[in-house]
Amino acid sequence: MSQTADSVLDQMEHEHSHHGPRKGPLRWLLTVNHKDVGTMYMVLALVALLVGGVMALLIRAELFQPGLQLTQPQFFNSLTTMHGLTMIFLAIMPGLTGLANWMVPLQVGADDMYWPRVNNWAFWMLPPAAIMLWIGFFMPQGAPGGGWTLYAPLSSTYAPPSIDWVIMAIHIMGISSILGALNIILTILKMRAKGMRLWDMPLFTWTWLITGFLLLLAMPTLAIAVTMLLTDRHLGTAFFDATNGGDPVLFQHIFWFFGHPEVYIMILPAFGIVSEIVPAFSRKPLFGRTSMIWAVIAITFLSAIVWAHHMFTVGLPVEAQVLFMYTTMLIAIPTGIKIFNWVATMWRGSMTFEAPMLWALAFIFLFTIGGFSGLMLADVPADYQYHDTYFVVAHLHYVVVTGSLFAIIAGVYYWLPKWTGHMYNSALAKWHFWLSVISVNVTFFPMHFAGLAGMPRRIPDYPLQFMDFNMISTVGSFVFGFSQLLFIWLIIQSVRGGKKAGDRPWDGAKGLEWTLPSPPPYHTFTEPPSPQTVREEGPHGYH
275 is annotated as an active-site residue: yes
Which 158-187 residues touch other proteins, going by CB under 8 A?
158-160
Per DSSP, the three-state class of 467 is helix
Q: Is 23 in the site for other proteins (CB under 8 A)?
A: no
Residue of 36, 164, 241, 262 with catalytic role: 262
Please, which residue, 9 or 322, has the CB nearer to other proteins?
322
Q: Is 330 in the site for other proteins (CB under 8 A)?
A: yes
221 is annotated as an active-site residue: no
335 is annotated as an active-site residue: yes
Per DSSP, the three-state class of 335 is helix
* Phi-psi domain of 351 (left: phi exceeds 0; alpha: psi -120 through 50; beta: other): beta
> How far is residue 311 from each of residues 250, 257, 260, 336, 450, measured CA to CA in Å?
11, 11, 11, 24, 21
- The alpha-helical segments, DSSP class H, found in 497-537 are 531-537
Sign of CA dihedral 39, 42, 48, 50: negative
Only one of the segments 97-105, 255-263, 385-393, 474-482 lies at the binding site for other proteins (rule: CB under 8 A); that segment is 385-393
Q: Applying CB under 8 A, which of residues 94, 136, 269, 460 lies at the interface with other proteins?
A: 460
Shortest CA distance to 327 belongs to which of 297, 312, 305? 305
Q: How many CB atoms lie within 10 A of CB 328?
A: 26
Please, which residue, 147 or 519, has the CB nearer to other proteins?
147
Please, which residue, 62 or 262, has the CB nearer to other proteins?
62
Which 220-259 residues touch other proteins, going by CB under 8 A?
242-243, 246-249
- Residue 75 in contact with residue 142, Cβ under 8 Å? yes
Q: Is 198 in the site for other proteins (CB under 8 A)?
A: no
Q: Is 427 in the site for other proteins (CB under 8 A)?
A: no
523 is annotated as an active-site residue: no
4 is annotated as an active-site residue: no
Q: Which residues fall within 8 angstroms of residue 262, CB to CB, at 6 or more apart?
A: 88, 218, 222
Q: Applying CB under 8 A, which of residues 68, 189, 485, 488 lies at the interface with other proteins?
A: 68
Please, which residue, 384 or 482, has the CB nearer to other proteins?
384
Q: Is 430 in the site for other proteins (CB under 8 A)?
A: no
457 is annotated as an active-site residue: yes
Q: Is 314 in the site for other proteins (CB under 8 A)?
A: yes
Give dist(CA 138, CA 153) in Å, integer: 23
262 is annotated as an active-site residue: yes
Q: Is 381 in the site for other proteins (CB under 8 A)?
A: yes
Q: Applying CB under 8 A, which of residues 122, 274, 364, 396 lies at the interface with other proteins?
A: 364
Please, which residue, 25 or 315, has the CB nearer to other proteins?
315
Give dist(CA 504, CA 497) in Å, integer: 17
Q: Which residues fall within 8 angstroms of residue 223, CB to CB, at 6 or more apart?
A: 170, 171, 174
CA 505 to chain centre: 25
Q: Is 453 in the site for other proteins (CB under 8 A)?
A: yes
Please, which residue, 213 or 294, has the CB nearer to other proteins?
294
Q: Is 291 in the site for other proteins (CB under 8 A)?
A: yes
- The alpha-helical segments, DSSP class H, found in 161-202 are 162-190
> How far is residue 31 from each of residues 26, 47, 118, 124, 195, measured CA to CA in Å?
8, 20, 11, 10, 30
Only one of the segments 7-15, 82-90, 214-222, 457-465 lies at the binding site for other proteins (rule: CB under 8 A); that segment is 457-465
Q: Applying CB under 8 A, which of residues 127, 463, 517, 521 lies at the interface with other proteins?
A: 463
Beta bridge partners of 422: 500
112 is annotated as an active-site residue: yes
> Between helices 248-282 and 332-346, what is the axis angle to 10°?
10
Only one of the segments 185-193, 369-377, 473-481, 484-492 lies at the binding site for other proteins (rule: CB under 8 A); that segment is 369-377
176 is annotated as an active-site residue: yes
283 is annotated as an active-site residue: no
Which 48-67 residues touch other proteins, going by CB under 8 A?
66-67
Only one of the segments 188-196, 412-420, 446-454, 487-495 lies at the binding site for other proteins (rule: CB under 8 A); that segment is 446-454
Q: Applying CB under 8 A, which of residues 33, 183, 389, 474 lies at the interface with other proteins?
A: 389
Give the DSSP per-residue string, 214-261. HHHHHHHHHHHHHHHHHHHHHS---SS-GGGT--HHHHHHHHHHHHHH
Size of the site for other proteins (CB under 8 A): 97
Q: Applying CB under 8 A, which of residues 179, 277, 325, 412 lies at the interface with other proteins?
A: 325
Q: Applying CB under 8 A, which of residues 350, 426, 500, 517 lies at the interface with other proteins?
A: 350
422 is annotated as an active-site residue: no
- 462: which DSSP letter? -
Q: Applying CB under 8 A, which of residues 38, 153, 370, 538 lies at the interface with other proteins?
A: 153
Site string for other proteins, 123-152 (x = CB under 8 A): ------------------x---xxx---x-
424 is annotated as an active-site residue: no
Q: At 370, which helix (H) or strand (E)?
A: helix 355-378
Q: To 10 degrees, the CA torsion angle through 161, 166, 168, 169?
A: 150
Give dist(CA 221, CA 171) in Å, integer: 11
2 is annotated as an active-site residue: no
Return the CA Rg of the chain: 24
Question: CB 43 → other proteins: shortest distance, Å?
Answer: 32
Q: Applying CB under 8 A, which of residues 7, 17, 313, 526 lies at the interface with other proteins?
A: 313
Per DSSP, the three-state class of 158 is coil
Amino acid letter for position 391: F
CA 49 to chain centre: 11
Question: CB 119 → other proteins: shortest distance, Å?
Answer: 35
Give dist(CA 332, CA 477) in Å, integer: 29
- 308: which DSSP letter? G
Instruction: Just list the catalytic residues.
Output: 83, 112, 148, 176-177, 260, 262, 264, 275, 309-310, 335, 338, 457
